Amino acid sequence: MARKIHEQIDPAVDFHALLELGIVPRQLGSPVRAAFSSFVAFVLGALIPLLPWFFSEQAFVASLVVSALALLAVGGVATTVTHRHWLAGALRQLFFGTTAAAVTFAIGRWIGTQF
């Protein structure tokens, strides 16, 4: 059976993809679409902390609050895919987002940027 499956590469790859990864390669989405949607999501996500700065030069606290709310919302919505409790997902996203922001801020201070 193994020899028969591996006589041709395409059926063998399809077999292993389904068996080992649980995916059907011909049913996967377009890589170009995935790249584009990732780009759009990144741009929209990057705009969220900047929004308060468009209205005021003293927007640091507002930027933190808007960012935290967005992280909580994204984490909560992501639980529709992960099937976790929405609060656990929201707090997890807030933790990782806050940690990333703190590390970025610390590196900026370390290399001498101004705030």
- Judge contact between 102 and 68, C-beta under 8 A: no
What mean pLDDT, rounded, does the chain reach? 91
Q: Tens digits of per-residue pLDDT, 66-90? A: 999 999 999 999 999 888 999 999 9
Angle at 43 between CA 31 and CA 61, to 5 degrees: 150
Show the tokens assigned to 5.
């499956």
What Cα–Cα distance (Å) separates residue 104 from each residue in 71, 91, 109? 16, 20, 9
Q: Tens digits of per-residue pLDDT, 9-39? A: 888 888 888 888 888 877 888 889 999 999 9
d(C-alpha 101, C-alpha 78), whole Å: 20
